[in-house]
Structure 1
Amino acid sequence: MDLKVVDMNRTYAEAILNWSYEEPYDFYNSELSEDGIKEFLNSSYYAVVDHHEELIGFFCTGESAQVPFGVHYGAYTPGFIDVGLGMRPDLTGKGLGYPFLSFVLEFFKNQAPFRLTVAAFNERAARLYFKLGFRKETEFTFGNIVFMTMIKKADPNH
């Protein structure tokens, strides 16, 4: 995948908010709203495009990458780069997650340790994260959804 990171803009934010995932991943569907657009434009979100400038996915960092309720469970201790990400629905489940997430992590120039939060039912994403060296750290429940944080320590070879 020939990818590059670009600044998030309104066009990309609207496209992402209109993405529609199939069950059970429809949990990640959003609603197009001004609040949603403002969230994507809060300077912690980045768009990922291919060599044709086509939107492939996005990632965010910091509090935007955390599930707010997880703070009550102590899931977000200091010392980690929190990363959240999403890939265009028509590209998921096709083996593109590994190069996509590898590219996103490389963007940080090995500043690990990283932390991701994933809904526990999303076994496909969790498998990918394990494959890339993440390990389960904590688990917490919000509503009827179980979330887990996964961490990846710094690579001593870098």
Structure 2
Amino acid sequence: MDIHIARMTQKYAVEALCWKYEKPYDFYNNVLTTSAIVELLGGGYYAIVDSSCKLIGFFCTGRSAKIPAGDRNAVYIEDCVDLGLGMHPSLTGKGKGDLFLKRILHFIEEEHKGKPIRLTVASFNKRAIRLYKKNGFTKEHQFHYKGMEFITMKRSSAMT
């Protein structure tokens, strides 16, 4: 799978917001609204595309990658690059996540040299947690938001 990071466009934003995941991952489904499109076009989001410019995923850094309850639970105090990501539902669970994540991590590490990377994941998402651990992330904190448990995971920079 040959993948590239591209500018988030309105076309890609609309497409990503329409993705539908199977249970229990349907928690990650979005609703296509004007405000959701504006969020994805706000500058912190990037598209991941294949060699034919087909959208296969996206990622964001900064505030958009955080869960609001994390601030209230003081899990985002340390200065890190916060990362959020999503892969097309048809590609999940097929062993493609490692290359996908490595490409994102390389990009972030080039942009933010020396800064640790942190992500927040729903604790039921064992597939993602396994992938993150495999790529050097370790569990930091846990907290609840809207009846669901989340964990933060952190990775020191320059591990790829």
Fold equivalence (TM over 0.5): yes
Aligned runs of 1:9-158 on 2, under 5 Å? 9-108=9-108, 109=110, 111=113, 112-155=115-158
Report the Cα offset of residue 146 of structure 1. Answer: 0.3
1:47, 1:78 → 2: CA distance?
A: 27
Give the drift of 1:120: 0.3
TM-score, structure 1 as length reference: 0.96
Task: Tell me the distance in 1 between the aligned counterparts of 2:52 and 2:146.
Answer: 40
Give the RMSD, CA atoms, in angstroms. Answer: 1.3
**Partner AA of 1:22 in structure 2:** E
Superposed CA offset, 1:71-101 (max 9, x none):
0001111321100000000000000000000
In 2, the alpha carbon distance for the partners of 1:52 and 1:7 equals 15
SS at match of 2:133: helix
Instruction: Kindly provide the amino acid, as one letter, of the partner of residue 4 in structure 1.
Output: H
Tell me how far apart the structure 2 counterparts of residues 13 and 36 of structure 1 sit (CA, whole Å).
8
Which amino acid counterpart does residue 63 of structure 2 have in structure 1?
E
Q: Percent identity?
A: 48
Scaled by the length of structure 2, what TM-score is found? 0.94
Match of 1:16, SS state, is: helix
Segments of 5+ residues of structure 1 without an aligned counterpart are none
Give every structure 1 segment of 4 or more consecutive aligned residues whose post-TM-superposition deviation is greater than 4 Å.
Answer: none
* Number of residue pairs matched by the alignment: 157
Question: Aligned partners of 2:46, 2:17: CA distance in 1, in Å?
Answer: 14
Q: Equivalents in 2 of 1:132, 1:56: separation in Å?
A: 20
- 1: CA distance between counterparts of 2:94 and 2:120? 22
How many Å separate the matches in 2 of 1:145 and 1:127?
Answer: 19
